[in-house]
Amino acid sequence: MMKSFFFLLIAFSTSAFANICEVDMVDNYTGRVIDRFREYDYDGTCREGLKECKKQIRLSGWYGRAECFVRSRVPTPEPTPDYGPDATRPLRLGEVVIFNNQFATISLVDRNELYSIQYNDDRRSTHHQIPRPYIAVTEGCLNNSYNTICAGHQVMTRDNQYATVVGLQYNKMVILRMNVGTNPLRSNVDPNTLVITR
């Protein structure tokens, strides 16, 4: 009786500290998410979720045409307190972002949580295995010591130029689209130096 109780206590304690892992089955050719699997993850490897995903690939006829990628682990670590949650959150497939001062779309998230993007220009070129801190989001708000600044805000810069906030960077800076000039995007702008006009 005591042995059974001890076993149940260990099992309950283990499950209490387990994360839930989400694994996506992704089409290799289009980057489309075909299916999603949620399983308990006890050791940080997402083993069960990956196993279920690979089993489904074999059973559903997607063998050789699809792969399994870890999408997220819940609960996720809390972001650094100095950073706004929208600037540091994980990115979604199909989300419009900014990389190297150009607009792009997230086309793939791999098992190491590195990102592939496709530029939104005419050439539609791609880049792969990009770490999250190099990519800026185009939605949400960023809290700082002076104000709350959001994508879409109209602002005036320290040198009296008017611009629109179009990106929130991982390092708590913002990207502006300048109203005039030949290089319309300006990155690494400290939001504390901006005046929100509307």
Q: Is residue 1 part of a domain?
A: no
Q: How many CB atoms lie within 10 A of CB 50?
A: 19
Last residue in a domain, options 25, 44, 74: 74
Q: Quick check: is 8 in a domain?
A: no
* 2 in any annotated domain: no
Count the alpha carbons within 13 Å of 36 in the hemisphere toward its beta carbon. 10
Letter string b/e over residues 87-109, b meaning 16 or more CB atoms within 10 A of that residue's CB: bbbebebebebbbeeebbbbbbb
C-alpha angle 22-27-30 in degrees, rounded to nearest 5: 125
Same domain assignment for residues 32 and 103: no
* 70 and 84 both lie in a single domain: no
Residue 6 in any domain: the answer is no
pLDDT tens-digit profile, the chain (198 residues)? 444 444 443 333 334 445 778 888 888 777 788 888 877 777 777 888 888 888 888 888 787 888 888 876 655 444 433 334 578 888 888 999 999 999 999 999 887 889 999 998 888 889 999 999 999 999 988 887 667 899 999 999 988 899 999 999 999 999 999 988 776 899 999 998 998 887
Do you know the residue count of the chain? Answer: 198
**Domain that residue 55 falls in:** 14-74
Same domain for 97 and 66?
no
4 lies in some domain: no
Structure confidence at residue 184 (pLDDT) = 82
pLDDT at 8: 40
Q: Domain for residue 5, yes or no?
A: no
| 96 and 174 belong to one structural domain | yes
CA–CA separation, 51 and 48 (whole Å): 5
pTM of the model: 0.56
On whether residue 130 sits in a domain, the answer given is yes
**Domain-ending residue, one of 27, 43, 74:** 74
Residues 149, 183: one domain? yes
Q: Per the domain annotation, does 152 fall within a domain?
A: yes
Residues 121 and 136 in one domain: yes
Domain identity same for 89 and 150: yes
- Neighbouring C-alpha atoms within 13 Å toward the C-beta of 50: 13
3-state SS track over the chain: CHHHHHHHHHHHHHHHCCEEEEEEEEECCCCCEEEEEEEEECCCCCHHHHHHHHHHHHHHCCCCCEEEEEEEEECCCCCCCCCCHHHHCCCCCCCEEEECCEEEEEEEECCCCCEEEEECCCCCCEEEEECHHHCEECCCEEECCCCEEECCCEEECCCCCEEEEEEECCCCCEEEEECCCCCCEEEEECHHHCEECC
The total number of structural domains that make up the chain: 2
Same domain (yes/no): 42, 108: no
pLDDT value, residue 103 = 92
Same domain, 70 and 104: no
pLDDT at residue 85, as a whole number: 54
Do 61 and 93 reside in the same domain of the chain?
Answer: no
Domain end position, chosen among 45, 74, 103: 74
My answer on whether 95 and 171 are in the same domain is yes
